[in-house]
Structure 1
Amino acid sequence: MLWEAHLRAPFPESFRGVDLDGVDLVLLDADVAGLVLRELGGTLDGHWIAVLWARIAELGKVVPLIEEEYCVSYFTGLAELARLAAARHLPAATD
């Protein structure tokens, strides 16, 4: 399971305390992890869904700025987790 793999993966040491384009990567990681846990527990409500989408946008902004291979892999996986958690909260298509 992707979530379990993420839990086993160590946070990139070289990115502790790093801020990319105004985004603190440690806080981003912690926020997404907490939001994924809320989704898995069935407690991701409207407020937290909005926060999750904001974190997905931040991941989309910072991942292209990362050059270290492991860090790219780590945050790409985090982005995938976030998108999976958000998937059932997409607005319905309307005509």
Structure 2
Amino acid sequence: MHDLVADLARLWKDHVRAPFPAGFRGVDVGGVDLILLDADVAGLVQGELSGGLDHGGVASLWRCIADLDTILPLIDEEYGAAYFTKLRTMARIAASPHLPTAI
């Protein structure tokens, strides 16, 4: 678990330094507002890093991951694709402690 927290903290640090892809400001892809998606994931990752998410936060994070899964195949600009792929990776790591256990 500690490695996940360290990985998430490192990805978060990298994310806040990365500029949002300029050509994607105010753009919807696949019905998803990209700036809002970025902001939602950022808030949820911060929540996970500062003590964890409640059930509503976990559900929101999984919705964001689903949105990222929708938009990624539709983005053909290199930096934009890399930016949102990293955002998805960060979201998946933040969500990983909240996966249901197998019985």
User: 2:82 is matched with which residue: 73, 78, 82?
Assistant: 73
Q: Normalised by the size of structure 1, how large is the TM-score?
A: 0.97
> Is 1:41 aligned to residue 50 of structure 2?
yes
Partners in 2 of 1:3 and 1:74 — Cα distance? 12
Partners in 2 of 1:3 and 1:64 — Cα distance? 23
Same amino acid, percent of matched pairs: 60
Partners in 1 of 2:14 and 2:52 — Cα distance? 22
**How much has 1:39 moved relative to structure 2?**
0.2
SS at match of 1:17: coil
Which of structure 1's runs of 4+ aligned residues deviate more than 3 A?
none
User: 2:26 is matched with which residue: 1, 5, 17?
Assistant: 17
* Structure 2 residue ranges without an equivalent (≥5): 1-9
Partner of 2:4: none
> Is 1:52 aligned to residue 61 of structure 2?
yes
How many residues end up aligned between the 2 structures?
Answer: 94
**How much has 1:47 moved relative to structure 2?**
0.6
**Cα RMSD for the two superposed structures:** 0.6
* Structure 1 residue ranges without an equivalent (≥5): none
Partners in 1 of 2:26 and 2:44 — Cα distance? 21
